Every structure is written in C-alpha cells, then in structure tokens.
Structure 1
Amino acid sequence: MNTLFRFTGARHRATRGLLLAGALALGLVTPAFAEPPLEQTEIRYQGWAGQVTFIELADDLGYLAPLKLKWVGNTISGPQDIQTVVTGDIDIGGAFYGAILKLIAARAPIKAVVGYYGSDANTYYGYYVKDDSPIKTARDLIGKKVAVNTLGAHLEFVLREYLARNGLSASEAKQVTLVAIPPVSGEQALRQGQVEVSALSGVLRDKALDRGGIHSLFNDTDLFGQFTGGSYVLRDKFIKDNPDASRRLVEGISRAIAWAQTTPPEEVRARFDRIIADRKRNEDASSIKYWKSTGVASKGGVISDAEIQVWIDWLEKDGLFKPGQIKASDTFTNAFNYFRPGKTADAQ
C-alpha cells in the first residue's frame, strides 16, 4: 500500500511538472521567481571620447540587462553632464561633488547615487609647469593663467584649496586666472605658452610626461590623499518613477566599478580597447594603454557622508554656502548600490 502510494505520488508530481513546463513554454503562467519588468529599459547617457565610462563597462559585462544604453553624444565636462541630467535630456551623468552640491543648493532635483572617479597613487590630477618655468610656489601663481577642463569643478576647487593652504588671501587668489580648455588641449596650451600651468590627469598626464619637459607643481592627492571626487546622479523623478530600473542601473554600475577595482589593469585595458573598437565612434583609443586604476576609494563606489562633507565645508568656508544650508546625507543615496551597507554583497 505504501509502495503504491509512493509510486502514484511520484507519478502525479511528474505529471504536474510536465504540465507546468508546458504552461510556461506557452506563456500561460509566470514562474514565482521571475523578476517584474522594469519601468523603462532605455537609459540615455553621454560618453567621453577615447574613454570607457563605468556605465558602458557595466553594459559590456552584462550587469545592466535588460536595460539598454542609448549614447546621445560626448561631453568634456562634469558640470555639463549633470546639467543635462537636470534638463531631462539624459538619464544619468556624473560630476565632481562640488558641482553636484552647487546644483542641489540651486534646488536641482537630483541625487548622487554612486561614486565613479577619484584620486589615488596611480590616478590623480597634477598641476604641471614647464621645466624652465619660474613658478616654484603657490605665491608665484599670482598673475598667471592655469588651464582647467571647466570652471566651478574639481580642478578649480583643488587649486583654490592649494592657494589658501599656502597663505594666499582671497584677493590674491582672484589674481590667478583660470582658463577653460578641453583636456586634450591642456598639454599643448602649456607648451605653447598660452597658460603657465595646466592641470593634467591619467592618460593625458602620462603621455605629456613621456614627452618630457614638464613637471608637477602639486597634485590633488598632496592635499586630500586618496579620495572619491564625484558621483553619478539621477533625477529624483527618475528614481520615483523607475525604482526597479534605477536599482538595476546603479547596481550594475557599482558592480562594474568593483570589477575594475579588483581585475588586473592589463585585463581592464584590454576590455576597454575592445569596447572602443566595437562601438565604432571613430575615436583615438591610444590613451587606454595608460589606464592604471579607478581612483575610487570605496568598494563599488559606495558614498559616505565624509567624502561629501569635505566639499560642503569648503563651500561654506568660501562663502558660497551658508552654514548648515546643505546636509550631506540629503544629497545622496546608497539604496541602489550593490555593495550598500547591510546588503549581503557588501561582505563579498
């Protein structure tokens, strides 16, 4: 009797399994473990010529599916990138924290969601002069021109901090002229005498150093050590309307950052080379061979109050913010980061 019951029970379960499999194949039922469809599947973004963004890397690694990326063009400026997010012309963009904070203070409805660039021993911004330059100290910069990629962003903040720490008054610091020059033209502007100092980083810095004749006056890591300098942002409305898509997007980007943090640099460079070749944008990828590290201080770009508070303090000290005007914790969220505190993945 027991044997017969076990036999018929097994046969019943097998029959039920076949029926369920058939129903699934016909689309008549949805498995309980199936993920709900995302609110939207297309993500608009801007790229950087000759570079691979972590948004693009995440897509190539398969971390964003079923999201699809739509490249709408290139940018050379973080502030421009996040302003384009504010206007709704793209869905995600990234910039220096100071630029993000200024927009938020101006009531831009955005939130920082994952740190994506920074400075460390291998990846940093340096302020370079020619070897025969008379500029030796911060005070020598009075009356001189300094090339930066854009005004009101990372390079301006770091330069002004350097001047302040070396005793220049506010009126003296104003006599140092910032000139906005595309990063790819920074070295040429310095060598041709259009500026006396040029801020260079990464591949452009290393290429310039290979050619010789220039040296660093100071680096951003001299002032701040290793730090994450900026993050990607999303509009508040995008997050509210697309919570599942936001999670998939940011989790994927944070996983891509962690992948680049833990993968041998030569393997990362090889993947970047292939991505650039495959996307066929008629761009020069020679700078990829100089890529060394992400510069991101935390695993997967998890954001902390402290890394934002540094820039809030600076903006308050400079008189651009009133004390207490902006609270660090109100400017960002780690809710979508794959390595967010409290998630199982943060221990992996």
Structure 2
Amino acid sequence: MPAPFALLPKLGRFTTTLGLSLSLFASSLLAPATAQAEGEIRIAEQFGIVYLLLNVVRDQHLIEKHGKAEGLDIKVDWTQLSGGSAINDALLSGSVDIAGAGVGPLLTIWDRTYGRQNVKAVASLGNFPYYLVSNNPKVKTIADFTEQDRIALPAVGVSVQSRYLQYAAAKLWGDKEFNRLDKYTVAVPHPDATAALIAGGTELTGHFSNPPFQEQALENPNVHVVLNSYDLFGPNSPTVLFATEKFRNDNPKTYKAFVEALAEAADFAQKDKGAAADTYLRVTKAKIDRAALLKIIDNPQFEFTVTPKNTYPLAEFLHRVGAIKHKPESWKDYFFQDAKPLQGS
C-alpha cells in the first residue's frame, strides 16, 4: 500500500486539478480526434480488478493474436490514467483509441459527442459491486456525512462512483437534491484514497471505491460499508470500454481483433479465477497477497463478461435530472452494436 496521501487540508489542489480537467474536456470537444491507422491501437485503463480483462488481453497478447487471424500485425500501446475526466480528455484529444472508465463518464461523453464524434461503448468489463466505505463511526448512511467529512472518488461529478452517489442522494432526498453530497467529494486515485482511509487522521473519511481497494480498506476494523452499488441497481456493469465512431469505422480489422480479444479474456477469467488472479498480479505488480486476491475474485457477485448489465437505470436518471441532454431509448443507443455483446441492459 502506498504511503498515506499527504492530503487534506490541501483540498485546493483538487479544485485546481478538477477545473483544469474540465477546461481540457471542453476544449477537446472542439478539437478533431486523430484516428490511428489500421493496425495500431492505444488503450487507456485505470486502477483495480475491474480492469482485469485488459490485463489478460495484455498478458496473452490477444489483440495481436486476433489481428494475425485477420492478416494484420497490430501494435498495441497501453497507458494508465486516473478518473473519467482524464480518460475522456485523452479519447477526444486523439491520444488514445479505447478508453476504460465507468458508465458515468461514458454517458457524459456519449451525450456531449452525440451527432459529432459519436462516442459509444464497445463492451462491458464485467459486473462488480462498488462500496462507499468510511472510517467515521458516526456515518452509518449517506445522510450522516457532514461538512467535516470528505469522500474520495476518481473524478468529481463525472466518475461512476460520483454518479452512483448522486443516484443514492436522489433516492433519499428527491431528484432536486441529487447533487447534495457533491460538495463533500474530492478526486483522489484509489490507491492513495485507500491508504489515507486506513491511516486515518485526515478529513478524508469516505471513499467510493472499487475492488480490490474496498476490500483492502475493510480489513481495517475502523472501516465499514456505507453503501453498496448493488443495493441501488442490483448486479450491474460499472466499468466499460468506449471509442469514437471514427476509430471503429476507419479500423474495422483492428477493432474486431480488440473485441474478439476481450471476449476471449472474459471467458478465460470467468472459467479460471486462479489464473486470472495470477495475471492481475503479474501485470499490475499489485502489492496484495494472492490468497486475498483470489478470495475477492471468487466473490459470487463478480462476473467477468463483455455483456453490459443494468446500465440503463443510471442513464435514465442522468437524463431525468438534466445531467445529460439526450435521452437514450435503451442501452443500445450508447453501445456499438457488434457481434459481441449480443444482449445487454
């Protein structure tokens, strides 16, 4: 675990970072994305077990394998970023071709590029519960957070964790109060937020996390679950991969190789959790015990699949509260309709 984040009271830098990110996002909407040539693909991922399918794809060189089946030698470039805003900026600026982020950032970028770059999801990365955890014993529900608390999440107002928190707030206080807790949230990468929550002693008393960071935090007896995303939507796909319409159309063989590689990785991870755990440790160099990791992955609520599940309730909510302008009629509006995934929600 990295050293505790040297953190709050230095909240100002989060505000500055957020403002810069939003500015970059706005400017990138005006700049044309530069598509890579057929035979090249640049992929941006974030942190956590939810990106394990990409670890398998990378470790087994599956894109290259399926590219060769199409008579194509594919060059694959990998990068790691934190937060949906940074991911969206990278995609729209043409720095990456495939973006990995939550359903929240997907719906934001789908809405803002509607009729232009037409960004849509390629596939899900699986179904996983996300926990909002806290080390403040007074916080039993989201209604208990006060001005003295700060909640870490990957990107304020954009990340899927932020959107889940807004959905929960609307459920409790009504749609007009959907952003009631936004003022308590700060953008902190999952590893740093986990370390800070475990160490305690800062204003950071909450973290809307993802696996394995939420499970690592819960090993501390002072940390407890405040909210489970499955309580909001049931089993759902929180994290997806998305791309511009131009990349998909201009690079059909590369795109197909990527989709086929991801489907093979999902089948591998779901059938052999032990091998999947080994892959995660090998690729990410994560400092987590293999037995502990395997216990997390063996959670029956985890499912590695490219087929999206229960993403539409969040999309409908975001339109209802005005967070996105365009209302999708179904999940098919913001997912490319390829051979895989075949059925979703």
Q: Give per-residue Cα distances to partners, 1:251-306, cap 9 Å, x unaligned.
A: 1112211221222x222112333345xxxxxx5443665253399987731246xx
Q: Give the paired residue count.
A: 288
Shift of 1:165: 1.9
Contact 1:247/1:336 (8 A) holds in 2 = no
The answer on 1:58 being equivalent to 2:57 is yes
Q: Give per-residue Cα distances to partners, 1:107-135, cap 9 Å, x unaligned.
A: 2432211111432xxxx2211122x5222
SS of the residue 1:211 aligns to = coil
CA 1:58–1:336 in structure 2 vs 1: closer, same or farther (change >3 Å)? farther
The structure 1 residue matched to 2:152, chosen from 142, 147, 150, is 147
Please give the alpha-carbon distance, in whole angstroms, between the structure 2 residues aligned to 1:50 and 1:221. Answer: 18
Please give the alpha-carbon distance, in whole angstroms, between the structure 2 residues aligned to 1:112 and 1:125. Answer: 20
Percent of paired sites with the same residue: 18
CA 1:159–1:106 in structure 2 vs 1: closer, same or farther (change >3 Å)? same
Please give the alpha-carbon distance, in whole angstroms, between the structure 2 residues aligned to 1:207 and 1:262. Answer: 24
The answer on 1:167 being equivalent to 2:173 is yes
The match for 2:134 is 129
Q: Give per-residue Cα distances to partners, 1:28-83, cap 9 Å, x unaligned.
A: xxxxxxxxxxx732221234468664234124335322354533532122342243
Please give the alpha-carbon distance, in whole angstroms, between the structure 2 residues aligned to 1:302 and 1:69. Answer: 26
CA 1:169–1:253 in structure 2 vs 1: closer, same or farther (change >3 Å)? closer
Shift of 1:180: 0.9
Structure number with larger C-alpha Rg = 1
CA 1:293–1:83 in structure 2 vs 1: closer, same or farther (change >3 Å)? farther
The structure 2 residue matched to 1:203, chosen from 206, 212, 219, is 212
The answer on 1:252 being equivalent to 2:248 is no
The match for 2:190 is 183
Contact 1:110/1:236 (8 A) holds in 2 = yes
State the TM-score, normalized to the length of structure 1. 0.72
Contact 1:42/1:68 (8 A) holds in 2 = yes
Q: Spell out the pairing of 1:202-221 with structure 2 (5 A cutoff).
A: 202-221=211-230
5+ residue gaps, structure 1: 1-38, 277-282, 342-348
Shift of 1:92: 0.8
Amino acid at match of 1:133: P
Please give the alpha-carbon distance, in whole angstroms, between the structure 2 residues aligned to 1:104 and 1:169. Answer: 22
SS of the residue 2:247 aligns to = helix
5+ residue gaps, structure 2: 1-36
The range that moved more, 173-182 or 154-163, is 173-182
Amino acid at match of 1:273: L
Please give the alpha-carbon distance, in whole angstroms, between the structure 2 residues aligned to 1:87 and 1:170. Answer: 34
Shift of 1:173: 4.7
Shift of 1:211: 3.0
Q: Give per-residue Cα distances to partners, 1:308-344, cap 9 Å, x unaligned.
A: 421221112212234746764232124142x636xxx
Please give the alpha-carbon distance, in whole angstroms, between the structure 2 residues aligned to 1:294 and 1:116. Answer: 16
Amino acid at match of 2:92: V
The match for 2:30 is none
The answer on 1:138 being equivalent to 2:137 is no
Contact 2:111/2:325 (8 A) holds in 1 = no
The match for 2:125 is 116
The answer on 1:340 being equivalent to 2:342 is yes
The alignment's C-alpha RMSD in Å is 3.0
Amino acid at match of 1:140: D
